[in-house]
């Protein structure tokens, strides 16, 4: 959802070599303390931004190392590509949006979630405060930048319906993901469909104007967002998958307690990393998304079957999932973080 950024040393996603974990010397390394570690790759949903701070903090605090993992974090090129690369074994683990996981499984892609961490969707309509949009009803007659076929555009009609609006009440202008922010700043559109933990802070920083949101979750529509995923090759290594899920959960818990340090740990992650104040705001918003009512007080990444079913039903109704499968086909509960 960001403009394409240059990442120092980034190997194109489709050229990432499959990483074998455990076994020969090429798949392991040794820590300074002499501990044997499994080399593991994690491919993000996009280029690094504030949401990803816990991964860098977990590395800095040696949380992954303590769980026997030598972690390499790689930029992604969208959740859909991350899902495909993870299933193909081009990366050991992925960080991807749950709708992309549902769509991938629908298409026969062999991938499962090891836990959704952003359990309250950051999906939202975003606009400058001077638009004076205070409720969904105020969207009537507005032009909104969206991207045809993505999860946001597919769920936006459900958001409108939940708020007694018709699709014809607004105009969704098909816009490349990288051009949404520019469309709003230039006045070509009144708002955009995006994530409150992503585009909004960047838009506010670039325009030096206050940005406000109509969050789907606050107006009748919630569903799972980003989480940790693995393909069949990695899932077969159940011990590794469990250790990775545990390390990610511990990293998020640690970052939640030290958000400023977590953001600072991202220094050097990308040549064009957003300014620290943007990263800080992105991560601050991300931390409001970690739980539903059912998982409040539990470890980051601990899910429930009921919440998974709610998400599946939302996307079935939105047409993203034609043949809904049992929750177990999407979520490897036995390998996921425990409460």
Q: What is the pLDDT of residue 14?
A: 40
| 332 DSSP 8-state letter | -
- pLDDT (tens digit, 9 = 90+) per residue, 293-302? 999 999 999 9
Cross-strand bridge partners of residue 29:
37
Give the DSSP per-residue string, 192-246: EEEETTTHHHHHHHHHTS-EEEEEGGGTT-----EEEEEEHHHHTSHHHHHHHHH
Does residue 102 register a pLDDT over 60? yes
Higher pLDDT, 10 or 43: 43
Whether the CB-CB separation of 213 and 159 falls below 8 Å is answered with: no
pTM to 2 decimal places: 0.88
* Mean of all residue pLDDT scores within the chain: 91
In sequence order, the 6+-apart residues with CB closer than 8 A to the CB of 127 are 133, 184, 190, 191, 192, 211, 212, 213
| 114 DSSP 8-state letter | E
pLDDT (mean) for 48-67: 98
Q: What is the pLDDT of residue 26?
A: 66
* Cα–Cα distance, 31 to 78 (Å, whole number): 32
Does residue 215 register a pLDDT over 80? yes
Reported confidence tier of residue 6, pLDDT bands at 50, 70, 90: very low
Q: What is the pLDDT of residue 264?
A: 98
Does residue 326 register a pLDDT over 60? yes
* Percent of the chain residues topping a pLDDT of 70: 92
Does residue 153 register a pLDDT over 70? yes
334, burial (CB in 10 Å: exposed 0-12, middle 13-18, buried 19+): exposed
Q: What is the pLDDT of residue 284?
A: 97
Reported confidence tier of residue 152, pLDDT bands at 50, 70, 90: confident
Does residue 24 register a pLDDT over 90? no
How far is CA 27 from its chain centroid? 27
Q: What is the pLDDT of residue 180?
A: 96
Q: Which CATH class, in words, describes the domain spanning 123-218? A: alpha beta
| 173 DSSP 8-state letter | E
Higher pLDDT, 273 or 3: 273
Does residue 70 register a pLDDT over 80? yes
Q: How many CA atoms lie within 13 A of 280 on its CB side?
A: 8
So what's the architecture of 13-120+224-335 in CATH? 3-Layer(aba) Sandwich (3.40)
Does residue 335 register a pLDDT over 80? yes
- pLDDT (tens digit, 9 = 90+) per residue, 227-241? 999 999 999 999 999
Domain with CATH 3.40.190.10 in the chain: 13-120+224-335, 123-218
Inter-axis angle of helices 53-60 and 276-286, nearest 10: 100
In sequence order, the 6+-apart residues with CB closer than 8 A to the CB of 74 are 10, 11, 13, 16, 41, 42, 43, 44, 91
Higher pLDDT, 149 or 167: 167
Reported confidence tier of residue 1, pLDDT bands at 50, 70, 90: very low
């Amino acid at each position: 959802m960001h403009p394409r950024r240059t990442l120092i040393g980034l190997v194109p996603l489709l050229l990432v070599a499959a990483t074998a974990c455990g076994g020969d010397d090429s798949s392991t390394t040794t820590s300074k303390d002499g501990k044997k570690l499994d080399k593991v790759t994690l491919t993000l949903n996009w280029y690094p931004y504030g949401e990803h701070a816990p991964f860098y903090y977990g590395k800095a605090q040696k949380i992954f190392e303590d769980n026997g993992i030598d972690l390499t974090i790689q930029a992604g090129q969208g959740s859909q590509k991350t899902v495909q690369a993870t299933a193909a074994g081009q990366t050991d683990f992925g960080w991807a949006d749950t709708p992309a996981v549902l769509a991938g499984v629908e298409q026969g892609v062999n991938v499962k979630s090891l836990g959704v961490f952003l359990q309250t969707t950051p999906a939202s309509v975003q606009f400058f405060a001077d638009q004076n949009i205070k409720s969904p009803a105020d969207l009537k007659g507005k032009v909104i930048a969206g991207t045809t076929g993505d999860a946001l555009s597919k769920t936006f009609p459900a958001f409108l319906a939940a708020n007694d609006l018709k699709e014809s009440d607004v105009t969704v202008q098909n816009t490349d993901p990288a051009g949404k922010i520019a469309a709003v700043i230039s006045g070509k559109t009144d708002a955009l469909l995006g994530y409150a933990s992503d585009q909004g802070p960047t838009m506010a920083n670039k325009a030096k104007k206050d940005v406000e949101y109509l969050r789907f979750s606050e107006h009748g529509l919630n569903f799972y967002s980003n989480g940790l995923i693995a393909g069949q090759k990695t899932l077969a290594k159940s011990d590794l998958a469990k250790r990775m899920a545990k390390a990610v959960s511990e990293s998020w818990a640690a970052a939640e307690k030290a958000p400023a340090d977590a953001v600072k740990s991202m220094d050097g992650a990308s040549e064009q990393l957003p300014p620290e104040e943007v990263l800080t705001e992105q991560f601050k918003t991300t931390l409001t998304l970690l739980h539903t009512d059912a998982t409040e007080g539990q470890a980051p990444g601990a899910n429930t079957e009921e919440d998974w079913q709610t998400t599946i039903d939302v996307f079935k109704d939105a047409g993203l999932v034609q043949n809904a499968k049992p929750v177990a086909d999407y979520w490897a509960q036995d390998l996921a973080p425990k409460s």
